């Protein structure tokens, strides 16, 4: 007798999409040579990627994040990360259990493994996969460009256990226009948009940069994203 067909539920899809997004983000971070990803930075990177993905015509996986003292938090991203770690696609260093009432969280430093890179490469073979990876790689390359010491007009003094690039990257993530607007509001939810037909402040910012660059010459979306992050970094330096 033929096995009973089971449908893949919406929740299953959601979990799979999260795993792909998280794995691609870690692979792109590695490919761009950015500092290693802590749990906190991973969620902040996810927030900025969701806030800007529509600029690349990619639907974000989430419209809101939970507000925690360490920044934005996505429950599903954490579950995806756990799955990737157990599947030996992501390695963990400095593991620290961090039991939270609603989620079993853990802290650590995360990097893709060789197996993880190979899986990511396979998943990039699809049209959606390659578009998504391209976007995330552009975002990470933009951070590498903005924080490049050779372009350094901004000083950061790293404390033990941190790097100059790491501090600057965290500053960029904190200054993201969408994140700033969400943080100004009350409640334990960080929203990307006020209404479905409105663009996120990040996408608006990127579009205004694109408009202003168009008058100067030919640029790619990657250059626009890099310019955006450079401006955020300067804002943060001015506020300090």
Partner 1 sequence: MASSAPMADKLFSDELQSLQGLEAAPSGEPPSRFVQRCQDWFEAWLDANKHPLEKGEVPASQVLMFIFAEAPDIERSGNASSQDRMTKALKA
Sites of contact with partner 1 (CB under 8 A): 27, 30-31, 111-114, 117, 137, 141, 145, 177-178, 180-181, 184, 194, 201, 204-205, 208-209, 212-213, 216-220, 222-223, 226-227, 230-231, 234-235
Q: How many alpha carbons lie under 13 Å from residue 211 in its C-beta half-sphere?
A: 6
Q: Considering the complex, what minimum distance in angstroms separates the CB of residue 187 from partner 1?
A: 14
Helices (H), the chain: 10-31, 39-52, 75-86, 114-123, 127-146, 164-175, 177-184, 201-214, 221-239
Residue 78 bridge partners (DSSP): none
Q: How many alpha carbons lie under 13 Å from residue 74 in its C-beta half-sphere?
A: 28
CA dist 218 → 138, 222, 225 (Å) = 17, 12, 14
Q: Considering the complex, what minimum distance in angstroms separates the CB of residue 101 from partner 1?
A: 31
Nearer to partner 1, 126 or 220 (CB): 220
Nearer to partner 1, 12 or 214 (CB): 214
3-state secondary structure at position 85: helix
Q: Considering the complex, what minimum distance in angstroms separates the CB of residue 98 from partner 1?
A: 26
Q: Considering the complex, what minimum distance in angstroms separates the CB of residue 117 from partner 1?
A: 6
Nearer to partner 1, 71 or 112 (CB): 112
């Amino acid at each position: 007798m033929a096995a009973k067909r089971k449908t893949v539920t919406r929740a299953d899809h959601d979990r799979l999409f999260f795993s792909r997004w998280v794995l691609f983000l870690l692979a792109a971070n590695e490919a761009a040579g950015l500092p290693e990803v802590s749990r906190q930075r991973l969620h902040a990177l996810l927030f900025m990627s969701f806030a800007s993905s529509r600029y690349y015509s990619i639907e974000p996986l989430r419209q809101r994040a939970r507000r925690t003292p360490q920044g934005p938090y996505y429950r599903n991203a954490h579950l995806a990360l756990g799955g990737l770690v157990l599947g030996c696609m992501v390695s963990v260093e400095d593991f620290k259990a961090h039991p939270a009432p609603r989620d079993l969280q853990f802290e650590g430093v995360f990097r893709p493994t060789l197996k993880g890179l190979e899986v990511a490469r396979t998943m990039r073979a699809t049209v959606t996969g390659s578009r998504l990876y391209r976007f995330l790689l552009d975002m990470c390359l933009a951070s590498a460009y903005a924080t490049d010491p050779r372009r350094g007009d901004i000083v950061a003094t790293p404390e033990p256990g941190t790097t100059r690039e790491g501090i600057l990257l965290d500053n960029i993530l904190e200054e993201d226009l969408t994140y700033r607007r969400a943080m100004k509001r009350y409640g334990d939810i960080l929203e990307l948009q006020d209404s479905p037909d409105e663009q996120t402040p990040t996408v608006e910012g990127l579009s205004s940069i694109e408009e202003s660059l168009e008058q100067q010459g030919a640029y790619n979306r990657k250059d626009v994203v890099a310019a955006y992050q450079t401006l955020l970094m300067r804002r943060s330096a001015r506020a300090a």
